[in-house]
């Protein structure tokens, strides 16, 4: 609704603005971002239309306040908008777009103050640099899928390119904000990933809407081009189970309390201040293979462990901190590898999983482990449709303790 503050700006007509907002409202992009892809960063994206409005109308105090408000919801949004402000400042020949982002930058800097006090700033920045592949010290786990230019990437490229071309032909101007957003998406998707996929896509969506609202050419051709851009045929990464490829799946919230209740019972045998290690295959230096594709499932058990004051590992932050060549790891699902990791990490309890057999392999009990509890994700598998939080079969978990 913040887009309607454009009413009253010279050159912005009510019928044009209303038509654009209607197309946005019924678009795939809005639906997918609202119910599928976006996470906590959405609290920052709410203020982006105000920032674009402030840039266009040169209300720099409004920009500064909106960017500051966005910084409370998302560091990623401020980073991306700062990149855009640098280009926009150069394009406008003014420092005000960049300077208006300074309050948000100062606020975000306070997040790193504890790291500076404890002398860990360099270590933290080094970890981030390794994660995006720009550090001299090589990362242990690197992304391989993001550098693959597949048919999905080509389709998105075609959609974005046609919008820029149609806009240029209609107005004889390059859409600077949208073009810069396109470059950010291209770099993030194919070269150096510094943000989750949904953030550059949301930037493109917002920048495209801003470009249309401020266009001095109002034509059906431009509207059709914009509609194709914001309503792709394939808004998700791959076909979803039980859905037609031309139809959006119905996304709706579901109750996680039954899952959490069962997980509290699953970890009930573990006393507070204990360490639990879960066994996973060695990802072989592939970022996408870390945690065997079950990372989302671990968010629930991490929550339960935290509530019970249990140290559950590996967690994503621990993996991130140890993401350099030669670092110790947690991997291995064989009995021998698990026994070795239990000793190295001083873990008192272990969780193992199977996907095929619902009965635990007898090798664990033969090797001196006792079964304390069991949890199966198969119970909830159908409830996750149309988008499952894993790509493999639902796993069965067993909580074990070594008595040898």
pLDDT in tens, 347-388: 889 999 999 888 999 999 898 899 999 999 998 888 777 677
Contact 223, 23 (CB under 8 A): yes
- Does residue 334 sit within a domain? yes
Cα torsion for 382, 385, 390, 395, to the nearest 10°? 0
177: pLDDT strictly greater than 90: yes
pLDDT on residue 383: 77
Contact 296, 259 (CB under 8 A): no
384 and 267 within one domain: yes
pLDDT on residue 127: 55
- Does residue 240 sit within a domain? no
Q: Bigger pLDDT: 311 or 330?
A: 311
- Does residue 251 sit within a domain? no
Contact 189, 147 (CB under 8 A): no
CA 9 to CA 133: how far, in whole Å?
Answer: 44
pLDDT on residue 198: 85
- What domain count does the chain have? 2
CA 162 to CA 95: how far, in whole Å?
Answer: 31
- Does residue 237 sit within a domain? no
9 and 103 within one domain: yes
160 and 31 within one domain: yes
281 and 202 within one domain: no
- The pLDDT of 72-101, averaged and rounded, is 92
- Does residue 94 sit within a domain? yes
175 and 37 within one domain: yes
217 and 168 within one domain: yes
273 and 209 within one domain: no
- The pLDDT of 1-7, averaged and rounded, is 71
150 and 225 within one domain: yes
- The pLDDT of 235-263, averaged and rounded, is 68
Q: Which of 137, 274, 134, 116 is nearest to 191 (CA)?
A: 134
Model confidence band, residue 248 (pLDDT cutoffs 50, 70, 90): low
- For residue 68, give its domain range: 2-230
């Amino acid at each position: 609704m913040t887009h309607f503050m454009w009413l009253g700006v010279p050159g912005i007509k009510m019928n044009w603005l209303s038509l654009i907002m209607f197309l946005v409202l019924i678009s795939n992009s809005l639906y997918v971002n609202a119910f599928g892809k976006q996470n906590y960063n959405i609290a920052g994206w709410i203020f982006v239309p105000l920032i674009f409005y402030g840039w266009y109308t040169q209300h720099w105090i409004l920009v500064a306040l909106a960017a500051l408000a966005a910084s409370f919801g998302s560091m990623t949004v401020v980073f991306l908008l700062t990149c855009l402000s640098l280009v926009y400042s150069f394009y406008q020949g003014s420092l005000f777009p960049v300077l208006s982002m300074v309050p948000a930058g100062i606020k975000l800097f306070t997040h790193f103050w504890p790291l500076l006090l404890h002398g860990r700033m360099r270590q933290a920045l080094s970890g981030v640099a390794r994660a995006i592949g720009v550090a001299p010290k090589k990362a242990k786990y690197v992304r391989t899928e993001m550098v693959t230019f597949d048919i999905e990437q080509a389709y998105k490229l075609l959609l974005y390119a046609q919008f820029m071309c149609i806009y240029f032909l209609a107005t004889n101007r390059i859409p600077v904000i949208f073009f810069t957003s396109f470059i950010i998406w291209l770099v993030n998707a194919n070269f150096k990933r510094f943000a989750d996929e949904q953030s550059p896509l949301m930037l493109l969506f917002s920048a495209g809407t801003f470009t249309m609202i401020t266009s001095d050419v109002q034509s059906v051709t431009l509207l059709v081009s914009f509609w194709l851009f914001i309503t792709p045929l394939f808004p998700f990464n791959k076909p979803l189970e039980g859905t037609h490829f031309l139809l959006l799946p119905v996304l709706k919230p579901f109750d996680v309390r039954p899952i959490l209740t069962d997980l509290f019972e699953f970890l009930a045998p573990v006393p507070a201040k204990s360490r639990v290690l879960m066994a996973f295959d060695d990802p072989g230096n592939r970022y996408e293979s870390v945690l065997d594709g079950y990372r989302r499932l671990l968010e629930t058990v991490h929550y339960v462990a935290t509530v019970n004051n249990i140290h559950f590992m590996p967690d994503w932050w621990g993996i991130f901190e140890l993401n350099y060549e030669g670092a110790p790891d947690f991997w291995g699902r064989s009995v021998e590898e698990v026994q070795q990791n239990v000793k190295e990490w001083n873990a008192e309890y272990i969780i193992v999983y199977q996907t095929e057999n619902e009965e635990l392999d007898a090798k664990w009990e033969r090797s001196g482990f006792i079964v304390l509890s069991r949890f199966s994700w198969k119970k909830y598998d159908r409830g996750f449709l149309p988008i499952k939080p894993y790509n493999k079969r639902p796993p069965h978990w067993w909580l074990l303790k070594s008595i040898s």
